[in-house]
Homo-oligomer: A and B are copies of this chain.
Amino acid sequence: MGIQEAIPVTVAQGSLSLLEQYTAIRRTTEWICEGLTPEDQMVQSMPDASPTKWHLAHTSWFFETFLLKPYLQGYRLFHDDFTFLFNSYYKQLGAHPNRSYRGLFSRPSNEQVRDYRRYVDEHMRQLISVTTDEQVLSLIVTGLNHEQQHQELIITDIKHGLWSNPLKPAWKTPPPSSTAPQPSAQEWLSYNAGLYSIGHDGPEFAFDNETPRHQVFVEKFQIASRPVTNGEYLDFINDGGYRRPELWLSEGWDTVNAQGWQGPLYWICHSERSEEPLPAPQVFTVNGLQPLDLNEPVCHISYYEADAYARWAGCRLPTEAEWEIAAADQPIAGNFLESGRFHPCGADSSCGADTPVRGFFGNVWQWTSSPYTAYPGFKPVEGALGEYNGKFMCNQFVLRGGSCATPQSHIRATYRNFFPAHARWQFMGLRLAK
């Protein structure tokens, strides 16, 4: 039985109690890690990525730090040093290790980290069963959403880690059929100029950076009916896209040259150990090296590349407001973490669903042209959790829509993901606008 066939849990639906949600989400994290050895779970291939084991520990640290320690009477820390060891970046909680050293922590072992998770789970179940405090309940939901964010990072980080191994090992066995259906022709969805409202409002969970809901004036615009495909992106490459400075932002051009980029991350055209070109481009996936499927949405490109492609195509990237306006009435359907594929399927398919989708959700995050900034009237959460989002509002761009590594229950039209312009290791693609 391939892991990919199992869709393990349906989480965070209205019909589930908080305890059921907690259990399902925590279990999903461990389901993701199936197939990874304790050694795999130690790999840190770059400072931006973290070892799987660290993610497993840090998400438990989050519950311990923000919930068990302050709110569960008589709670004793699992291990005194973990307070320091698994703090990611919360300065208000004291010192934390340099993030580039996370891959050196052979101790605690993977088994100890699993014990830590079990210990935290046991106490969290206690807390959930007794608390009625609105603030505590809200923090638990935050912790679950935090866990879901790290589910995605586990996948993207270990993918980069295994890619860094000359053996290019597969972590998952490939799904039965891997060829994506032919995408539909790209069409333009048109919107009128006017005042629109974007951002989150209401009782459901959202991160502070999605609030407050506010009005924006938007000129009339058109947005593409589906993301750009590998085949379309290959045309850009073959047209000299990576050798024509006039297509690039100044920083992008410098990066292309400094890094020697010739295509998206994970595309390979020649062996590391010989000079010969491969007969056809390959792409590294969680299933190891696979032939590049031209019908899939292009993925693992930086903002610089998305922007250059759009300029080459005579278009531009949408702003985050435009994207949200267009996505607001789309169903949250597509290819998510739950499929267990951890890889995009066709640019407007939902991996076997009957109805084609417009690809607004799932498959690949879509770069917008919007720098990540505070919405008017934005107020960070009080206390150390205020460091969650607000302090990163500088030199990052917003991505929208979620990916094949995002839990379906985690995403929504107002969701704002953000990464620096050079980042490529998330499942990042693009959708055109004009």
CB-based contact A92/B245 at 8 Å: yes
Residues from chain B with a CB closer than 8 A to the CB of A395 are: 251, 395, 421
Q: How distant is A318 from chain B, measured CB to nearest CB, in Å?
A: 11
Contact indicator per residue, chain A 158-198, by CB within 8 Å of chain B (1) or not (0): 00011011110100000000000000000000000001000
CB-based contact B394/A249 at 8 Å: yes
CB-based contact A92/B246 at 8 Å: yes
In chain A, residues 365-419, which have Cβ atoms closer than 8 Å to a Cβ of chain B? 369-371, 373-374, 376-377, 386-387, 391-395
CB-based contact B85/A166 at 8 Å: yes
CB-based contact A219/B391 at 8 Å: no
* Alpha-carbon gap, A109 to B167, bound state (A): 12
CB-based contact A164/B101 at 8 Å: yes
Number of this chain's copies in the complex: 4
Other-chain residue from B167, B169, B217, B319 in contact with A215 (beta carbon distance below 8 A): B217
Contact indicator per residue, chain A 88-120, by CB within 8 Å of chain B (1) or not (0): 010110110100010111111110000000000
Residues from chain B with a CB closer than 8 A to the CB of A215 are: 217
Interface size on A, residues (CB 8 A): 70
Q: Which chain B residue has the least Cβ–Cβ distance from A83?
A: B273
Q: How distant is A343 from chain B, measured CB to nearest CB, in Å?
A: 20
Residues from chain B with a CB closer than 8 A to the CB of A165 are: 104-107
Q: How distant is A101 from chain B, measured CB to nearest CB, in Å?
A: 6
Other-chain residue from B43, B94, B250, B304 in contact with A106 (beta carbon distance below 8 A): B43
* Alpha-carbon gap, A365 to B384, bound state (A): 33
Query: Does residue A248 face the partner (Cβ distance < 8 Å to B)?
Result: yes
**Segment at the interface with B among A5-13, A32-40, A227-235, A289-297:** A32-40
Query: Does residue A214 face the partner (Cβ distance < 8 Å to B)?
Result: yes
A interface list, Cβ under 8 A from B: 37-45, 81, 84-85, 89, 91-92, 94-95, 97, 101, 103-110, 161-162, 164-167, 169, 195, 214-219, 245-246, 248-253, 272-273, 303-304, 316, 319, 369-371, 373-374, 376-377, 386-387, 391-395, 421
A-B contact pairs, 5 of them (CB 8 A): A38-B38, A41-B106, A249-B392, A304-B394, A371-B373
